[in-house]
């Protein structure tokens, strides 16, 4: 398929093929008015291709791993991203019992940030769970209704940052377990995780 070929082609080769396609169209359509339209369309395509290349080059992917034994950087990273959020945070985490993180979530919601939480239905009723407390303070929460677990541990912040890893949002994970979190601004990964959140949010409605 042409689409697959273009995606796999080098930029210079794809540009050459685009130019050839316009040239062939001009030959087939001899009407000068049609030729003018094609010239205009070629100019528009050129502008948008240049804009897309600049946009791609300006977006440098930055990723960093954090580990639970590294000066509490896992929970501090989560809290910091809630403090920096300005529009929305979509949370999909198996269990939440760390009051420091729950406080940051409520503070973000209090600033007008839309905070949504997906979590496991069984873990929501564990001793020390912050889920009911979050709901009472205006955070929208949904739980799975499966005999199996909703075992994800990720969050998307403003569509710009993804946190993902083994780390449950608990004091046990912070103080005792060997855990990790990866923070990234990789747009492709963010989009995939956001789609998974949206799918589960609909499923648990």
| Active-site annotation holds for 59 | no
List per-residue pLDDT tens for the chain, 205 residues long.
Answer: 545 544 555 566 666 677 777 677 777 776 667 667 667 777 667 655 655 555 555 679 999 999 998 889 999 999 999 999 999 999 999 999 999 999 999 999 999 999 999 999 999 999 999 999 999 999 999 999 889 999 999 999 999 999 999 999 999 999 999 999 999 999 999 999 999 999 999 999 9
| Active-site annotation holds for 114 | no
Residue spans of the domains in the chain: they are 2-58, 63-203
Active site residue: 72, 103, 126, 158, which one? 158
Active site residue: 19, 151, 175, 198, which one? 151
Write down the number of H helices and E strands in the chain.
8, 7
| Active-site annotation holds for 13 | no
pTM comes to: 0.73
Q: Residue 163: is it exposed, middle or buried by C-beta count within 10 angstroms (0-12/13-18/19+)?
A: buried
Gap between the Cα atoms of 25 and 175, Å rounded? 67
Q: Of 165, 115, 157, 159, whose CA–CA distance to 135 is shortest?
A: 115
Class of domain 63-203: alpha beta
Q: What is the pLDDT of residues 127-159, one digit of tens each?
A: 999 999 999 999 999 999 889 999 999 999 999
The residues, any chain, with a CB within 8 Å of residue 110's CB and separated by 6 or more, are 138
């Amino acid at each position: 398929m042409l689409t697959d070929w273009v995606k796999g082609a080098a930029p210079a080769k794809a540009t050459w093929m685009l130019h050839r396609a316009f040239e062939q169209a001009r030959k087939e359509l001899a009407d000068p008015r049609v030729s003018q339209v094609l010239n205009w369309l070629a100019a528009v395509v050129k502008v948008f291709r240049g804009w897309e290349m600049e946009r791609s080059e300006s977006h440098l992917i930055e990723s960093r791993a954090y580990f639970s034994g590294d000066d509490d950087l896992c929970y501090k990273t989560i809290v910091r991203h809630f403090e920096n959020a300005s529009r929305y945070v979509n949370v999909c985490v198996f269990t939440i019992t760390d009051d420091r993180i729950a406080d940051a979530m409520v503070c973000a919601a209090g600033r007008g940030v839309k905070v949504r939480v997906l979590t496991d239905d069984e873990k929501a009723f564990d001793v020390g769970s912050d889920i009911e407390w979050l709901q009472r303070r205006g955070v929208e929460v949904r739980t799975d209704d499966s005999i199996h677990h909703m075992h994800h541990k990720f969050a998307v912040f403003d569509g710009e940052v993804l946190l993902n890893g083994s780390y449950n949002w608990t004091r046990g994970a912070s103080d005792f377990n060997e855990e990790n979190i990866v923070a990234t601004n990789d747009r492709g990964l963010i989009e995939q995780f956001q789609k998974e959140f949206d799918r589960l949010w609909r499923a648990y409605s």
